[in-house]
Structure 1
Amino acid sequence: MTHDLLGRHRAVLPDWLALYYEEPLEITHGEGRHVWDAEGNRYLDFFGGILTTMTAHALPEVTKAVSEQAGRIIHSSTLYLNRPMVELAERIARLSGIPDARVFFTTSGTEANDTALLLATTYRRSNTVLAMRNSYHGRSFSAVGITGNRGWSPTSLSPLQTLYVHGGVRSRGPFASLGDADFIDACVDDLQDLLGHTRPPAALIAEPVQGVGGFTSPPDGLYAAFREVLHERGILWIADEVQTGWGRTGEHFWGWQAHGQNGPPDIMTFAKGIGNGMSVGGVVARAEIMNCLDSHSISTFGGTQVTMAAGLANLTYLLEHDLQGNARRVGGLLIERLRSAAAQVPAVREVRGRGLMIGIEITRPGTDEADPKAAAAVLEAAREGGLLIGKGGGHDTSALRVAPPLSLNVAEAEEGAAILENALRSIQ
């Protein structure tokens, strides 16, 4: 059955549409933190459809909200007043920390980042954008043009002039040997030097924790230091919260809050987890920035009633059940358990992350050389053990990505860690 579907997939879909595993699986249904494939195999899900099933599979509160809204009206476009869209925008505006915030809904993180770039370049009248090395911001023409990860940027053509800045990866690059304070100072000095050689950019776009890049991050406070430099020159800060938002990092509701000493970002993008699988993305910005466009615009599918109903129900569940606190508590236990296991495996260069956003970097033992084949072998072994994880990284996809639904409990964390430990030991 699965083999037949794979053949049909390859016959009609692009060759570049990536599939996990030597024998790709078809996921047919899920419940809580588990999913089942077409062969009836049950898996503990530690990737959540790329950090998208944020609370739980088949969460009753969300499925009920979707069903009830679908029974009334699914879609009308933004040309008409839309109560669920207004209600969700009000809640996100309050939570964002951005003063006088306006919210625009899209269908994906890619589209949200496109919109943020449109706003920033229009507001600043500049098509120059600063981005971080090892970054990922989506698959559209403009988004791949600001993506600092070679494996996910298929063309150098772009409508933007992109300049890449140091600092998104703490443990690699020319400043890796420095202490945290000196690392930040060196990155700030590099940014100031770069700005001295170019026309004023529109914005810096940055993920507080780099997602596709392998869950790497700078020391806390780096983007606050960057913001001080940017603010002096009127350059905007765009925080890409597509993967880090909604409490996943545990310590903060938004990833930017680890760098918030100089205030919130000018623009923030979000997507993935807020819809718990429904297609929801969006942009939050100060009114003067959001309203800078001097032409009409709409969104046919952004903010459609059924996705907004899902987002409202999901956000309510997240807040009422303190899933941010759960991510901090259970994530803290999980990362320590994985570090303990990895200490016995020479191929593990680093276990990093915070909350329920954990990266495990695989290299050739005793070196910093990436080992994508070993990382792929761990992915396969984890699946054989009944666990689904992701992979990424800026060095030939050699980082494993662990990002379970935020409702993960301690027993499931222990079960997943045990499976991962065995998978890691299998490559020795």
Structure 2
Amino acid sequence: MTGLHERHLAVSPEWLSLYYRRPLELTRGEGRHVWDADGNRYLDFFGGILTTMTAHALPEVTKAVSEQAGRIIHSSTLYLNRPLVELAERVASLSGIPDARVFFTTSGTEANDTALLLATAHRGSNQILAMRNSYHGRSFSTVSVTGNRSWSPTAFSPLQTTYVHGGVRHRGPYADLGDAEFIEACVADLEDLLGHIRTPAALIAEPVQGVGGFTAPPDGLYAAFREVLDRHGVLWISDEVQTGWGRTGDHFWGWQAHARNGPPDILTFAKGIGNGMSIGGVVARADVMNCLDAHSISTFGGSPVTMAAGLANLSYLLEHDLQGNARRVGGLLIERLRAVGARSPAVREVRGRGLMIGIELVRPGTDDADPDGASAVLEAARAGGLLIGKGGGHDTSVLRVAPPLSLTVAEAEEGAEILADALHAAG
């Protein structure tokens, strides 16, 4: 055990997770690579949990941060803030939400917490619908709408939450149905549920479940849900903390795979927009955003430095068509990983969209999740020079692959090769 690890354990809570038997201290990053304190170089396929969206040490972002820090670092929302207004204008336009208003936070957890506050205040109800296997953050309210028991440490809640079918396509009671029948069954279940409970304020849902193992319903499920929700006056919150900014390749936002009825009422975002700087936020129609009848501010949300970083990062992403790169290179990477998976009896499924890919592991010859196997592959991949993540339901048996969106074809090929060797070594 390293001295830093011992010091970490002495001052940190036991529930603060660390990857690897020998935890890793990252000291430098460039492009799609990072280096540890011992000088070892790794291809980064997790990007600080989908947060290093464009590239490590992107010159445009570091320059914007440095220049803004040289002018003023902090002011709070009590004063006009030009970078905040400029980024809000761009996010509002990109969101697809009409007459949109934007509120910046410091994290995805805080963004979802704010969305729940808005929805419950607007609808006058503390009833919330959420998806099974979901994850929305670590605050008291967001834990209470998280449908993944590994990440929900308490049954106490300020909200009354009911969990809905549909976020996981290939496990559960409807797994054997075709896509159309799957959607029909989930919609029928939602209709039945709404007949038994008081009218909820909102449904909160990730278009692709992140911590849940990059699972997703068939395209169109949330559009079908929306028809039911609209009839009952229930808002739709799309949690885009992991799916936003073009990561799925096919769409800029995850909700656009379910766009038959237009954008969500409320959209939350975080992670990638700051490329490592602490930015989260909420976009909502003006009538929803303005429903609160008390004053509020944010001390750190929308700080000049983080807003400058977000503007530079978003500009780079759009000008270099990183969404298109995620679609092209991500498609190649999924193809390579499916070929790898076909040769491994431990791989149940390789799924994903763009540069958001999950590899679900099982004990060979069974359909039982294999969290120990996932941990072994994580270790073997590190030994081979590749960093990936883990996720899934309570079993944590899914390898999560989510590189920066500037990933090259050569790096995708290299990463797939290392993963193939890691699966072989761990199996």
TM-score category, normalised to shorter length: over 0.9
The residue number in structure 2 matching 1:137 is 136
Q: Which amino acid aligns with 2:254?
A: G
Q: CA deviation at 1:365?
A: 1.3
Distance 2:413 2:346 in 1: 22
Contact 1:269-1:282 within 8 A present in 2 as well: yes
The residue number in structure 2 matching 1:42 is 41
The residue number in structure 2 matching 1:367 is 366
Contact 2:380-2:426 within 8 A present in 1 as well: no
Distance 1:25 1:375 in 2: 18
Distance 1:379 1:149 in 2: 21
Q: CA deviation at 1:55?
A: 0.1
Are 1:118 and 2:117 matched, yes or no?
yes
Q: CA deviation at 1:426?
A: 1.5
Q: Deviations over 1:141-174 (max 9, x none)?
A: 0000000000000001000000000000000000
User: Match of 1:105, SS?
Assistant: strand
Are 1:55 and 2:54 matched, yes or no?
yes
Structure 2 length normalisation: TM-score? 1.00
The alignment yields a C-alpha RMSD, in angstroms, of 0.6
Are 1:304 and 2:316 matched, yes or no?
no
Are 1:236 and 2:235 matched, yes or no?
yes
Are 1:216 and 2:223 matched, yes or no?
no
Task: Name segments (4+ residues, structure 1) moved above 3 Å.
Answer: none
User: Match of 2:70, SS?
Assistant: helix
Are 1:421 and 2:420 matched, yes or no?
yes
Q: CA deviation at 1:368?
A: 1.7
Q: Deviations over 1:35-76 (max 9, x none)?
A: 000000000000000000000000000000000000000110
Q: CA deviation at 1:427?
A: 2.6
Distance 2:245 2:82 in 1: 22
Contact 2:112-2:142 within 8 A present in 1 as well: yes
The residue number in structure 2 matching 1:20 is 19
User: Match of 1:163, SS?
Assistant: strand
Distance 1:196 1:58 in 2: 52
Distance 2:294 2:274 in 1: 29
Give the count of matched residue pairs. Answer: 427
Q: CA deviation at 1:425?
A: 1.2
Are 1:392 and 2:370 matched, yes or no?
no
Q: Which amino acid aligns with 1:375?
A: A
Contact 1:370-1:395 within 8 A present in 2 as well: no
Task: Give the percent of matched residue pairs that are identical in Structure 1 and Structure 2.
Answer: 82
Q: Which amino acid aligns with 1:107?
A: T
**Uncovered stretches (5+) of structure 1, i.e. residues with no partner:** none
User: Match of 1:15, SS?
Assistant: coil
Q: CA deviation at 1:366?
A: 2.3
Distance 1:207 1:366 in 2: 31
**In the TM superposition, what are the counterparts of 1:12-411 in structure 2 within 5 Å?**
12-411=11-410
Q: CA deviation at 1:241?
A: 0.1
Distance 2:94 2:157 in 1: 33
Distance 2:131 2:70 in 1: 44
Q: Deviations over 1:230-274 (max 9, x none)?
A: 001110000000000000000000000000111100000000000
Q: Which amino acid aligns with 1:91?
A: R
User: Match of 2:407, SS?
Assistant: coil
Q: Which amino acid aligns with 1:274?
A: I
Q: CA deviation at 1:367?
A: 1.8
Q: Which amino acid aligns with 2:9?
A: R
Q: CA deviation at 1:209?
A: 0.2
Q: Which amino acid aligns with 1:137?
A: H
Q: Deviations over 1:346-367 (max 9, x none)?
A: 0100000000000000111122
**Uncovered stretches (5+) of structure 2, i.e. residues with no partner:** none
Distance 1:150 1:395 in 2: 6
Q: Which amino acid aligns with 1:148?
A: G
